[in-house]
Amino acid sequence: MIDIKNVHKTFHTGKPNQVNAVNGVTLHIESGDFVTIVGSNGSGKTTLLDMVAGSIAPSSGSIDIDGRDVTKLRDYKRSPWIARVFQNPMNGTASDLSILDNFRLAAIRTQPKGLTIGINETFKNQVRERISTLGMGLENKIEQPMGTLSGGQRQALTLLMSVMDSCKILLLDEPTAALDPKSAQIVMKTADELIRHYRLTAILITHNLKDAFNYGSRLILMGEGQVLKDLDTNQKSALKQNDLFDWFG
Amino acid sequence: MDFYLTTLIQGLCLSAIALGIYISMKIFNIPDITTDGSYTLGAVVTAVLLTHHQPVYIILPAVIAGGAIAGAITGFIHTKLKINALLAGILVMTALYSVNLGLMGRSNIPLINVSSLFTLINVSANQNYNMFWILLGFIAVITFLVGYMLKTDFGIAMRATGNSESMIRALGVNTDRMKIIGLAIANALTALGGYLFSQVQGFTDISMGIGIVIIGLGSVIIAEAIINWRQITSVWLSLALVIAGAIIFQLVVAVTLDIGVDPIYLKAVTAVFVLLIVSLPRISLKSSG
């Protein structure tokens, strides 16, 4: 599904503050894999994810999605495959727009946004139905601006929005970092259910080692811009939670 | 009565600019100074074509195209050349001064005794009422078109671009292109303001656009104050308030002149008035919080 070949990313090349954020990463991610990436700050995980999403271009190396070389494709052109959930709930939703408007845009992620009015009663009902699965009581508030909701509610909605249109890859960049423990749990559970239900290929970046232990079919440890450990499903299930904590010891 | 009717007529002309500024400032968060130049451009194109006896169906598209090109250039400079939006607008506005002067060939073209939009249709024997009704219809059509556009999928994507760029890019929208189109639409509306105003006042002057952006901003800020106060989310109501804002703004100017303030100080009064509307909500918030 995703083929990352010897990717490097250097910021401020040739200057005293040069940073080698990603230093030769090669990864093959199968369709349906749920990859969790852990690593300390500055280990290059977010930069790697941004390169998969297309918001940062690699300095060298190549990235293939679904057998197609997308290395030079900009982020908005990768939207037919990729949906994203950001660390900051503000980045994944538009605060001033209503929940309904946000969902409308998400529902046409892979399509051109034309000069027709797409919001009708059928669509409203579809959105209400989807939102009611969260059990947050938000289905009656779809006309409300997104900005009136809490961070946890917004992240949960962003997750739902990602599967409104056909989606193959879900990128989650510390989706629960800004949330309280309870909301974080709801968001992670929702993510896990959606990934299973829609058989998504997912990459999750997290600093929460419990989440890294509980979720995902494959676990990767990054450091200094490189893949230090790569555990497949069997190796991961053999792993004990304490072993994971020891990696950061 | 005529005094207030004139004010209303001017307010309607300027509401086209206010709609343009609403798109650039409120929807895209871009302070667009191109306005001063594109407003005059609209008036200049109108004057040049009218004096060459061109029909409305040529003049109107020409005005819209002129404004749209000016806006698109500002958008291009801002997004592709990564120049600050304010500076991009100032650059285009400055260049437009020469373009406008070049098109006119002199600094003033009178439009007396040429057939205009207002001689084309006769709904009232009274010249001023006739103007008023035509303008009202014109603005109603524009408002409908803008409102409809904002409700379409394209319009939602447009509104999201100014609100959460990371989100809308992740949802497959080229934000640079969207901003260029947005500024083109905004300046096309502004040019329409110039088209209307030159025909209302019966001449086009090279300096008629100076400071016009403040009038647009003032109108939008008046509307915004009400929108925030009443927590309005309806697109239609917001647009209606923007037009009301433009008319209120003209009323304030008219009353200022009426009570005997020297016209020399008119721009200063305008600036102070805008400052007041911007700062009053902030001051009252501070004292209560």
Min Cα separation B151/chain A (Å): 6
Nearest to A90 among B159, B160, B164 (CB): B164
Are A101 and B160 inside 8 Å of each other by CB?
A: yes
State the count of interchain CB pairs (< 8 A) between A and B: 92
Task: Select from A97, A114, A119 the Cβ nearest to the Cβ of B160.
Answer: A97
Predicted local distance difference test score (pLDDT) of residue B289 = 41
Which regions of chain B are under pLDDT 70? 1, 281, 284-289
pLDDT given for residue B1 in this prediction:
61
List the single best residue of B79, B145, B153 to mutate versus A (max A Cβ within 10 A).
B153
In one-letter notation, the amino acid at residue A163 is V
| A85 within 8 A of A162, measured Cβ to Cβ | yes
The residue extents of the domains of chain B are: 2-208
| Subunit contact A113:B159, Cβ cutoff 8 A | no
Distance from CA of A107 to the nearest CA of B (A): 9
- Give the chain A residue nearest B231 (alpha carbons): A145
Q: Are B165 and B46 in contact (CB under 8 A)?
A: no
State how far the Cα of A210 lies from the Cα of B252, in Å rounded to an integer.
63
Q: Is there a contact between A94 and B169 if contact means CB atoms under 8 Å apart?
A: no
**Cβ pair A109:B174 closer than 8 A:** no
Q: What is the predicted pLDDT for the residue at B285?
A: 59
pLDDT confidence of residue B226? 86
Taking only the tens of pLDDT, chain A with its 249 residues reads: 899 999 999 999 989 999 999 999 999 999 999 999 999 998 999 999 999 999 999 999 999 999 999 999 999 999 999 999 999 988 999 998 999 999 999 999 999 999 999 899 999 999 999 999 988 889 999 999 999 999 999 999 999 999 999 899 999 999 998 899 999 999 999 999 999 999 999 999 999 999 999 999 999 999 999 999 999 988 888 888 888 888 887
What is the set of domains in chain A, with CATH numbers?
A: 2-247 (3.40.50.300)
Residue B287's pLDDT is 53
The length of chain A, given as a count of residues: 249
Check CB contact of B175 with chain A, cutoff 8 Å: yes
Please check whether residue A52 is in contact with residue A3, taking contact to mean a CB–CB distance below 8 angstroms.
Answer: no
Query: How many Cα neighbours within 13 Å face the side chain of A51?
Result: 32
How far out from the chain centre does Cα A140 lie? 27
B81 touches chain A (CB under 8 A): no
Q: Which of B149, B153, B170 sits opposite A104 (nearest CB)?
A: B153
Pairwise CA distance, residues A138 & A131, whole Å? 7
CB contact under 8 A, B174 and A74: yes
Q: What residues have CB less than 8 Å from A92, skipping those under 6 apart?
A: A84, A85, A86, A154, A155, A158, A161, B164, B166, B167, B170
The pLDDT, as a whole number, for residue B244 is 96
Query: Distance (Å, rounded) from C-alpha B231 to C-alpha B225?
Result: 10
- CB pair distance less than 8 Å for B172 and A55: no
* Closest by CA position to B278, among listed B28, B25, B23, B84: B25
pLDDT of residue B120: 84
Specify whether the CB–CB gap between B30 and B90 falls below 8 A.
no
- Residue written as token pair 């954020």: A21
B149 contact A CB<8A: yes
Residues of B in contact with A113 (CB under 8 A): 152-154, 156-157, 173
Interchain CB distance below 8 Å, A115 and B152 = yes
What is the predicted pLDDT for the residue at B84? 95
Contact A79 B172 (CB under 8 A): yes
Supply the ipTM of this predicted assembly: 0.89
Report the distance separating Cα A170 and Cα A190, nearest Å: 13
The rounded distance, in Å, linking the Cα atoms of B266 and B273 is 10
User: B159 CB near a chain A CB, below 8 Å?
Assistant: yes
Q: Which residues of A touch B (CB under 8 A)?
A: 53, 55, 74-77, 79-80, 82-84, 86, 90-98, 101-102, 104-106, 108-111, 113-119, 143, 145
- Answer whether B3 touches A (CB < 8 Å): no
